[in-house]
Amino acid sequence: MLVKALLLAMICLQLNTQAMANEPLRFVANTAWGMPFARFEGERLTGGVMFDLGMALGAATGRPVSFVSLPRKRIERAVLAGDVDIRCYTNPTWIDAPKAYRWTEPLFELRDVIVGGVGAKPLRQVSDAAQGSILSAVLGYRYPSLDAHFDSGLFKREDTVDQEKVLLKVGAGRTPYGVSNQAALDWYRLTTPRHGLADWTLTVATSAIHCAIPKTSPWSRGTLIEALNSLKRNGKIDAILRSYK
């Protein structure tokens, strides 16, 4: 009986392993992302740095990738429900429960900068802003380096749905200032000749960007972490980033 039970257990384990090998990696895509990190057609992720990273991860692991597009506020719920396997373009300080994930090493860095419209007062430091200045930001995003300035009323935060809309509002003069990551700002300036943005920027934070595997995922035992760290070390991620400059 014991031998039969062991054989049955081995067969079940092999079947489960084969089933997992055919299951797609569910890569969550935040619908507030913009280029160069994400290009959406409707709600479907079709291009950008995160799309290329997901495809590179699929190639490295030999598994298909399914991109799950969600608004930022629904991502945590999807993680808790076990509906996604991997979350990228994030940092432990940006999410509510970082201990619910296994984290990669830093994959690249991003700078958050304040940018103004061509008619806005240039800022060399945050305190140069007039009290009560309007600052466009992305809905649901956290900006820890600016929290004290929001609390003091130096900046009044005005949210919009994504990074591109922030830059559109600033360039159109609807708000004097906005906060953007430098990569998104560079892409916007490159692809929008009449952008209406000033030449100066003020760096307010530099963040390490990671991928994270929810501990609820069947892939949380190290396979994806190792594959992503390998993509960083062999230069693949840096090559993807360079392709959008």
Lookup result for tokens 């300080």:
93
> Same domain, yes or no, for 148 and 226?
no
Residue 88 has what pLDDT?
Answer: 96
Does residue 7 fall inside a structural domain? no
Q: Do residue 115 and residue 200 come from a single domain?
A: yes
**96 and 115 together in one domain:** no
If you write DSSP's letter for every residue of 75-138 in order, what string do you get?
A: HHHHHHTT--SEEEEE-GGGSS-GGGEEEPPP-EEEEEEEEEETTSPP-SSGGGSPTTEEEEEE
Q: What is the CATH number of the domain that holds 173?
A: 3.40.190.10
With beta carbons less than 8 A apart as the criterion, state whether 86 and 48 touch.
no
Could you tell me if residue 1 is inside a domain?
Answer: no
Using alpha carbons, list the distances in angstroms from residue 213 to 16, 137, 150: 20, 27, 32
> For position 3, what pLDDT does the model report?
45
Task: Tell me, yes or no, whether 100 and 216 share the same domain.
Answer: yes
pLDDT in tens, the chain (245 residues): 544 444 444 444 343 444 445 789 999 999 989 999 999 999 899 999 999 999 999 999 999 999 999 998 899 889 888 899 999 999 999 888 899 999 999 999 999 999 999 999 999 999 999 999 999 999 988 899 999 999 999 999 999 999 999 999 999 999 999 999 999 999 999 999 999 999 999 999 999 999 999 998 888 778 899 999 999 999 999 999 999 98
Q: Looking at the structure, do residues 62 and 87 belong to the same domain, yes or no?
A: yes
- pTM, entire model: 0.84
76 and 95 in a single domain? The answer is yes
Task: Find, among 245, 195, 219, the residue nearest to 49 by Cα.
Answer: 245
Pair 69, 26: CB distance under 8 Å: no
Alpha helices in the chain (DSSP H): 2-22, 49-61, 72-80, 147-152, 163-171, 182-191, 223-233, 236-242
Based on the domain organization, do 86 and 152 belong to the same domain? no
How many domains does the chain contain in total? Answer: 2
Helix (H, G, I), strand (E, B) or coil at 64: coil
Q: What phi and psi, each to the nearest 5 degrees, are found at residue 210?
A: -125, 170
- Using CA of residue 81, residue 161, residue 202, residue 131, what is the dihedral sign? negative
Co-location of 167 and 227 in the same domain: no
- What is the domain range of residue 220? 16-108+208-242
Relative to beta strand 44-47, strand 155-160 is unpaired
pLDDT of residue 16: 43
> Is 121 found in the same domain as 162?
yes
CA atoms within 13 A on the CB side of 81: 8
